Amino acid sequence: MTKACVKWKEQLLEAALTGTAAGDLEEHMKTCAACAAEFEVLQARRERMDTMLPLVARGAELPGEFRARVVAAAEAESERKRARSVGRWVLVGATAVVTAALVMGLLLHWRAAPTTLEAELSAAERLAEWRAPSDVLLQIPGQEILQTTPRLGESYMKVPINTEEE
């Protein structure tokens, strides 16, 4: 292929691929042995390429038991999924039962026992009423009278005396 024939390169490739040379290329090849030879080479290469190309994808075969293996694997996977799904529902159910039992237990507990606030108030009241045993020793004679101190202008004599004890 001469330098002058470079312009025919693209057309030669096209011709080799399609198997037919365009009119002007055909005319050129009648007078140019180099281009005619290049065309032959390209055509042979294209034929070889077309023969070999399928081998790129079809060069190997699947084993005979492929179908059976795939079906078995698919069914096993499906069974596993079903088992997982059942297990999940069992877990959800168990969780729901345990939660419900806890809630019921807490409710029953709250109903049976006084509320925390009530219990605290009751304890405070009991504390306020509490007297130490030594309180008796601190009492003095006439304390009863002193406990009922007369108001301004009143006399101790008018203070009522508790006679019921006597």
Pairwise CA distance, residues 129 & 65, whole Å? 93
**How is residue 142 written in tokens?**
């006439």
Nearer to another protein (CB atom), residue 30 or residue 84: 84
Q: How far is the CB of 4 from another protein (least distance, A)?
A: 20
Residue appearing with tokens 């069974």: 79
Residue appearing with tokens 């004599």: 157
Helix, strand, or coil (residue 166)? coil
Q: Is residue 11 at the binding interface for another protein, with CB under 8 A as the rule?
A: no
Determine which residue in the list 3, 6, 19, 59 makes contact with another protein, applying CB under 8 A: 59
**How is residue 16 written in tokens?**
């080799």
Determine which residue in the list 30, 34, 69, 150 makes contact with another protein, applying CB under 8 A: 69
Q: How far is the CB of 118 from another protein (least distance, A)?
A: 53
Nearer to another protein (CB atom), residue 89 or residue 110: 89
